Structure 1
């Protein structure tokens, strides 16, 4: 996840069983993607690891960082490229200690530059702001503002991820505000022409 302008960061749907691996292959074959976040809920770690294995393989083949959502222990078990922590999912320092210096550690910071500063001081590699738009992927508790991204990019070099209801139609202001990554889920996996077309549409915007 290097700094080369704004890049695409894909987040999995909650159901990654069945034919999802084919969708992921299509998406990653369609154009540059910086990272893929494995986000599943309500299953045990053994089942999660089994679901993750083929997806991790696809990401490795396409040189895409494989990031585990919420669970430092699952990230460690999978030898994932990193972990993304919500505000209640543990500390970046603990993640660094367990996953090593090369792990990519991200922290959800809602609309708060204060939380983002705390995460950066704890050693996070990137912070995530959102949700910027309504989304069906998860319940929105915090609405983020463009101003948060703009001010963050002026005061620090720690990359920021914009998340929440982002589509090719509404992403441009976030790119112009200085977001380093666009985190997208539904706009890719539920695209009427398939995930490959969605990735192409986003990358046309990011080019």
Structure 2
């Protein structure tokens, strides 16, 4: 067994059959969290799309995390919010979402940003990209040594993200990633088979 867990990130299009796909993915192997990540929608439409997905996660005890929007996370009563470097500050998210909310922060490849997030009260930090990503343009390349360094000095969980597949994730797990965050490698094909493969690769199944 491993301490590493799987963190699923939604594709940008979560309409149509996506709720059924999410249920299949979550039933395939243990998943710790699901991040709702859509762009360019008003909050009413985003909330409408999020609600059935949130119910699917809740029924399976999977944390439902909203990307970027503190206000949408509050509106939905989500389990937490994930903040990019330009999406708000941890203190504001904590004040609006409460002590129980899980607040994550994108730190790219920066040890300094991660330390600042930890000091600000984040619940986890995310490093990446570790591999070329098809989900978003890779501006920052993180190294395995960053994960090793973080595990040596900090107790705060860290997430590895960016181009991760069942075939390339083992070094990230060995270096100390508490979670591996994946999107295209699951939704780009058979989601149940991909989640099963990840579960096997990181020792969950």
> Where on the TM-score scale, by shorter chain, does this alignment land: which range?
over 0.9
Q: Structure 1, residues 112-134: CA drift from partner, whole Å, max 9, x if none?
A: 11100100011000000000001
1:115 aligns with 2:113: yes
Aligned match of 1:205: 201
SS at match of 2:38: coil
1:84 to 47, 65, 82: 82
Runs of at least 5 residues in structure 2 that lack an aligned partner in the other structure: none
Aligned match of 1:133: 131
SS at match of 2:168: coil
SS at match of 1:15: coil
The TM-score, its normalising length taken from structure 2, stands at 0.97
Equivalent residues in 2 for 1:24-43 (5 A)?
Answer: 24-43=22-41
- State the distance in 1 between where 2:152 and 2:3 align: 15
SS at match of 1:201: helix
**Cα displacement (A) at 1:68:** 0.1
1:167 to 165, 168, 180: 165
**Cα displacement (A) at 1:190:** 1.0
- State the distance in 1 between where 2:164 and 2:134 align: 11
- State the distance in 1 between where 2:17 and 2:138 align: 28
Q: Is the 8 A contact 2:169 2:202 kept in 1?
A: no
**Cα displacement (A) at 1:47:** 0.2
SS at match of 2:61: coil
Give every structure 1 segment of 4 or more consecutive aligned residues whose post-TM-superposition deviation is greater than 2 Å: none
1:105 aligns with 2:88: no
Q: Structure 1, residues 100-156: CA drift from partner, whole Å, max 9, x if none?
A: 000000000000111001000110000000000011101111111111111001000
The TM-score, its normalising length taken from structure 1, stands at 0.96
Aligned match of 1:124: 122
Count matched residues.
Answer: 202
Runs of at least 5 residues in structure 1 that lack an aligned partner in the other structure: none
Equivalent residues in 2 for 1:50-89 (5 A)?
Answer: 50-89=48-87
